[in-house]
Each structure stands twice: as C-alpha cells, then as structure tokens.
Amino acid sequence: MDTSSKPLFMIMLGAPGAGKGTQARMLSEVLGLPQVSSGDIFRENLRNATPLGRLAKGYMDRGELVPDDVTIDMVMDRLSCPDCAGGAVLDGFPRTLAQADALRQALVAQDVRVSLAPLLEVSDDAVIGRLAGRRVCRDCQAMYHVVFSPPKVEGVCDKCGGQLYRRADDEPDTVRNRLFVYYKQTAPLVGYYFAHGVLVTIDGDRPIAAVQADLLSAVQAASV
Ligand code: ADP
Ligand code: ADP
Ligand code: ZN
C-alpha cells in the first residue's frame, strides 16, 4: 500500500488483550512502517537487565504503568530513530493523557500529527480469555493463542522456530489489575483522540483477518 506521501503515525487503542500487538505487527509489515511497542521495549530491557529494565520490572509484575517520565523518554528516543521518519505503528503507547500530550508535542515540532487512532473494541470477558491463552515467541515476539491462533507445532514459533512462553503478567490476578488500570488511566485517550478527529472504532471481537481488513480500509481513508 502506498502511504509514502506523508508520515503516517497511527496509535493502536484498546484494552490489554484486544489485539493491538497482533494487528500492529501485520500493519507494520503491510505498510512498511516500524512497529513501536512500549511493552516490547520494556521486556527487551528486562531481558538485558538494564537499569531501565530493573526500574520497570516491579510495575510490570504488578500490572501497573511504568511512570510517565521514563516511558516518554524511552519512546521518544525510539521515535527519533531515522526509520521512524516516515511514521510508525504505535502499540501500547500512549497509555496516559500525559504521554499523549508529550507525543503530540514531539510530532508538532516536526509539523506532523497523529493520522489515525483505531480503537479495537472487545468485550471484557473476551480479553480475559485472550490473555489467558496468549503465548509469545521469546526470539521474535510473534503472538499466538492456544485456541484462536495456535502455532503449527505446540510451543514453537512458526516464523522463527523460537520457544513460546506465557507472560508472567498474563496470570489472572495481574490481568484483572491491568484491566482496572486500563479503565482508570488509558480509556480517557479514546475521548482525547475523538476530540482530535482521528478516532476510528473497530469491532475487535471478530477473527484476526476481518479486523485487519477494517484497519487497512481505515488507513486508506486516512491517507487520502
Ligand atoms: P498489553 O498489550 O498486554 O497490555 P504491553 O506489552 O503493552 O501489555 O505492556 C506490558 C506492561 O508494560 C504494562 O502492564 C506496563 O507495566 C508496561 N508498559 C507498557 N507500555 C507502557 C506505557 N506506555 N506506559 C506505562 N507502562 C507501560
Ligand atoms: P494486546 O497487544 O492488545 O494486548 P495481543 O495482540 O497480544 O493484544 O492479543 C492478545 C491475545 O489474543 C493473543 O494471544 C492473540 O493471539 C489473541 N488474538 C489477537 N487478536 C485476536 C482475534 N481477533 N481473535 C482471537 N484472538 C485474538
Ligand atoms: Zn519467533
């Protein structure tokens, strides 16, 4: 798809488990834009035991948000890389109004705006089921689900042969806290992006391919 005319920054909105990472990865491949996932960057820092990873660990284990200042610095750093000059698919960031404002300011400084903020609407019961069965590749971060999107060989990534694991924060108690945090701190972003005229609501309670088709139509509409 040709989106070369202007930078395309899109923000995946939705509860934990709504499918943001799954869809962001596919959009990134189709559109040729980098996927910028704050959760993936935090997990990479955890694996490498960096100071940022050590700071983030407690918050992530409890299902709370990592403080805005460190999160904003981390994502802005990533967005300042040359590969993001033509845009990016953001997944998991922003998650607070302060993060959304910081992103807006950084983009405005380059005379750019967020083009599109798709909200993946999925019922609370469904997201709990999705997170309970989620499996992630240790090596390439590809996403699977034991029932809805299983790998060809159990426990093995189709794309790279890596080992699949279950995230510690996908345990039921942490999931409930993450949902609570979502409604308290992140859900206001729906109104924020509506007010900026870029919100597109998508029924995320459908098969992955159907959701992707709607997302691609929304991108096309936003790129003309
Ligand atoms: P999910 O998509 O399942 O909700 P993520 O992988 O996006 O989870 O995030 C995992 C954890 O990383 C969050 O629960 C939070 O602790 C931390 N995190 C990720 N992105 C942010 C952010 N933008 N602001 C604060 N914390 C974040
Ligand atoms: P998020 O990034 O919003 O937390 P993920 O993309 O990680 O969500 O998806 C959560 C889980 O749900 C994963 O196991 C994924 O394979 C599965 N999943 C994603 N989209 C769908 C869908 N449309 N239908 C069923 N399962 C899905
Ligand atoms: Zn893999």
**Cα of 92 from ligand 1 centre, angstroms:** 6
Amino acid, res. 104: R
The answer to whether 122 touches 19, Cβ cutoff 8 Å, is yes
pLDDT, tens digit (0-9, with 9 covering 90-100), for 42-79: 999 999 999 999 999 999 999 999 999 999 999 999 99
pLDDT, tens digit (0-9, with 9 covering 90-100), for 13-50: 999 999 999 999 999 999 999 999 999 999 999 999 99
Q: What class is the 8-123+181-223 domain?
A: alpha beta
* Phi, psi torsion values for 133, nearest 5 degrees: -105, 5
Residues of the chain with pLDDT under 50: 3
Which pLDDT does position 3 carry in this prediction? 47
Which pLDDT does position 1 carry in this prediction? 54
Q: Is 184 a catalytic residue?
A: no
Q: Parse the chain into domains and list their residue ranges.
A: 8-123+181-223
Query: Which of 57, 113, 138, 167 is an active site residue?
Result: 167
Q: CA-CA distance, 6 to 114, in Å (whole number)?
A: 11
Query: Which of 20, 43, 78, 130 is an active site residue?
Result: 20
Predicted structure pTM score: 0.95
Which pLDDT does position 84 carry in this prediction? 97
Question: Whose atoms come closest to the Cα of 65: which ligand?
Answer: 1
Task: List Cβ neighbours of 198 (8 Å cut-off, separation of 6 or more).
Answer: 113, 114, 115, 116, 117, 222
